[in-house]
Amino acid sequence: MTSMDRRRFLMTAAALAAWSSCGSGSSRGLRRGERIDVLLRNGTVLDGDGGPGHITDVALVGDRIAGIGAYDVADAHLVVDVGGLCVAPGFVDVHTHSDASILRFPGAESRVRQGVTTEITGNCGSSAAPRKAGDDEDATDAGEAALQSRWTGVASYAEAWKAAKPALNHAMLVGHGSVRRAVMGNVDRAATEAELAAMERILQEALADGAIGMSTGLEYVPGIYAPAEEIERLARVVQRHGGLYASHMRSEEDHLLRAVDEILDLGRKTGVKVQVSHLKSCGRANWPLLGEAIGRIERARSEGVDVMADAYPYTAYSTTLTILLEPWSREGGNEAIVARLGDQATRARMHAELTPHVARDPGGFELIVIASVKDKQHEPCVGRSLEEIGAVWSCDAAEACLRLLESSGGEVSFIGHGIADDGVDRVLAHPLVMVGSDGRSMAPVGRQIERPHPRSYGTFPRALAVYCRERGLFDLPTAIRKMTSMPADRAGLRDRGRVAVGAFADLVVFDASAIRDEATWQEPQRYPTGIRHVLVNGAFVVRDGEGTKARPGRWLAHGKG
């Protein structure tokens, strides 16, 4: 950011702060002399709806915002001077994978320290529930597998979540892949009528128990085997419940446009609200497809399809290494993959298919960096590319990939550096796109072996620092709207995502000129700077830049606050 750009940003912020929509010294929502629990004084309030900031006080009583205006400090139990800082709604992360990890890390340090007060899980077709007893296919390690034994359905998962008392609020989508696996396993075939009916019943029960909608992961097992007709039938159930359908589409590479057409056609046919998860185009050869993908979404929206999208502010994605294998070789899940690798002829076929796949996405083995492995002997591979690992092992990169999968039981994650920088700009700036991390709850504790994507710690500060303040893709009120009221409304969360009288007191207080993500590819588990306070339901989870260990989060069922 040049000195002139920085000066312009600060001058704009000052001009916004000087404007007050509350009139001269007026207040609303509280009677004179009424006791205030927390009074945030003299902050520049950003309402979450995209309106300009204004200097005023925000008065909290219990878990709600009771008033916005000018108040007597004598009426407040706790007064916190936030002059020179922004007061915004807590960030609503519309796309996360904290399904089981939130129970391992209920303090949600990676989330609340970046200003997130509500997260939505169950994305990419995989949710904590429903699940069959003994099914730990989605567990990242033995700890998560043990946690998953506590529940089978949404209702029992909700009880386990409440018992853990997490620090932030939680709403969930039910994963189509989890539903399909519960009914028919990881098989590559169309469902029978009886199986479709069973999936409908499970989905209906999940929605009745509070799930806010359904997600698909159509590049993953078992969603990759489901025909469009199956998804459409289940989407009609979601539509009848007024829920959201979010999709990790069938392709983010060379078949991107076909995948976009599929989700838009589903929206046209069913009338369900559709969300394109982490919109992007992966692989250099596929980057030119992004403009047409966005154009098709715009045209569908103008024709009445209720479609929006989310994205994260990074040029790399992260997922499981098995996604590089062709669909036939993934049938049956990780155990079946390992078994196939033990057959010489089958392994040779899998090896031959890897190189052309990686050429399409992300564009080369040097762009695939290992983030985690299950097999401890291969921990030195974490942070290295497949090309580097192959050189150390005196084999080609494709063989290195297969060896890692075999030794870790298919449980290897990686970071793929395959997204264009200007593509990230184009997507994030779009008015139909909100910010979602695609990360999860964690904390920098214990022995640090995993090298996860930095998005789990830095998404929202990075969007504000790099894409708002430095690149100027959008102004500050618009940036806040993309992180608050837009995702809250999309998820159907009542009284969240806004600084308004009567809304829940989920708030983040930050320095607009200093906020910055500190998590990097090399050191991804670092907290951001510039965030002073974070409140969830009126309680401080971050105070003066430090975690408080308070855990006031709530389970948010469909249509409820």
| Strand blocks (E) in 139-212 | 169-172, 174-175
Tokens 């921990």 belong to which residue? 379
| Strand blocks (E) in 491-530 | 507-510
Q: How confident is the model at residue 3 (pLDDT cuts 50, 70, 90)?
A: very low
Is the preceding omega at residue 444 within 30 degrees of 0, hence cis?
A: no
**Closest by CA position to 474, among listed 281, 320, 343, 313:** 313
- Kindly compute the dihedral angle of the four CA atoms of residues 147, 149, 155, 158, in this order, to the nearest 10 degrees: -10
CB 129 within 8 A of CB 206: yes
pLDDT at 185: 96
Q: Would the pLDDT of 113 be above 60?
A: yes
Question: How many other β-carbons are positioned within 10 Å of the β-carbon of residue 481?
Answer: 26
- Residue 382 located in a structural domain: yes
pLDDT at 30: 76
Rounded to two decimals, what is the model's pTM? 0.92
- Contacts of residue 174, Cβ cutoff 8 Å, sequence gap at least 6: 122, 127, 129, 130, 154, 203, 206, 207, 211, 213, 214, 215
Tokens in use for 149? 């034994």
Handedness of CA 299, 301, 305, 307 (dihedral sign): positive
- Residue 344 located in a structural domain: yes
pLDDT at 142: 54
- Contacts of residue 64, Cβ cutoff 8 Å, sequence gap at least 6: 502, 503, 504, 505, 538
**Closest by CA position to 110, among listed 417, 434, 460:** 460
Task: Report, as an integer, the average pLDDT of 158-175.
Answer: 97
pLDDT in tens, 421-453: 999 999 999 999 999 999 999 999 876 678 999
In whole angstroms, give the CA distance from residue 550 to residue 518.
Answer: 24
- Residue 373 located in a structural domain: yes
What DSSP string describes 260-309? HHHHHHHHHHH--EEEETT---BSGGGTTHHHHHHHHHHHHHHTT--EEE
CB-based burial of residue 387 (10 Å sphere; 0-12 exposed, 13-18 middle, 19+ buried)?
middle
- Contacts of residue 524, Cβ cutoff 8 Å, sequence gap at least 6: 451, 452, 453, 454, 456, 457
- Residue 495 located in a structural domain: no
Number of H helices, E strands in the chain: 19, 21
Task: Report, as an integer, the average pLDDT of 210-230.
Answer: 98
pLDDT at 516: 98
Tally of domains within the chain? 1
Q: Would the pLDDT of 45 be above 80?
A: yes
Radius of gyration of the CA atoms of the chain, in A: 23
Task: Report, as an integer, the average pLDDT of 506-530.
Answer: 98
In whole angstroms, give the CA distance from residue 330 to residue 340.
Answer: 9
pLDDT at 137: 58
Tokens in use for 143? 């700890």
- Residue 390 located in a structural domain: yes
Tokens in use for 195? 């199986």
Q: How confident is the model at residue 561 (pLDDT cuts 50, 70, 90)?
A: low
- Contacts of residue 482, Cβ cutoff 8 Å, sequence gap at least 6: 428, 433, 434, 435, 463, 474
Would strands 531-536 and 539-543 be described as parallel, antiparallel, or unpaired?
Answer: antiparallel
Handedness of CA 138, 144, 149, 151 (dihedral sign): negative
Q: How confident is the model at residue 151 (pLDDT cuts 50, 70, 90)?
A: confident
- Residue 71 located in a structural domain: no
Look up the domain containing 378 and give its range: 319-416
In whole angstroms, give the CA distance from residue 319 to residue 301.
Answer: 29
In whole angstroms, give the CA distance from residue 448 to residue 198.
Answer: 42
CB 413 within 8 A of CB 318: yes
- Residue 192 located in a structural domain: no
Angle between helices 397-407 and 334-341 (to 10 degrees): 120
Task: List, in sequence order, the alpha helices (H) in 2-70.
Answer: 3-18
**Closest by CA position to 175, among listed 192, 153, 194:** 153
Q: Which residues of 349-378 are buried (b: 16+ CB within 10 A; e: fewer)?
A: ebeebbeeebebbbbbbebbbbbbbbbeeb
Tokens in use for 355? 């190189």
Handedness of CA 110, 115, 118, 123 (dihedral sign): negative
- Residue 511 located in a structural domain: no
At 495, phi and psi to the nearest 5?
A: 60, 30
Q: How confident is the model at residue 24 (pLDDT cuts 50, 70, 90)?
A: very low
pLDDT in tens, 262-289: 999 999 999 999 999 999 999 999 999 9
Tokens in use for 305? 């399809």
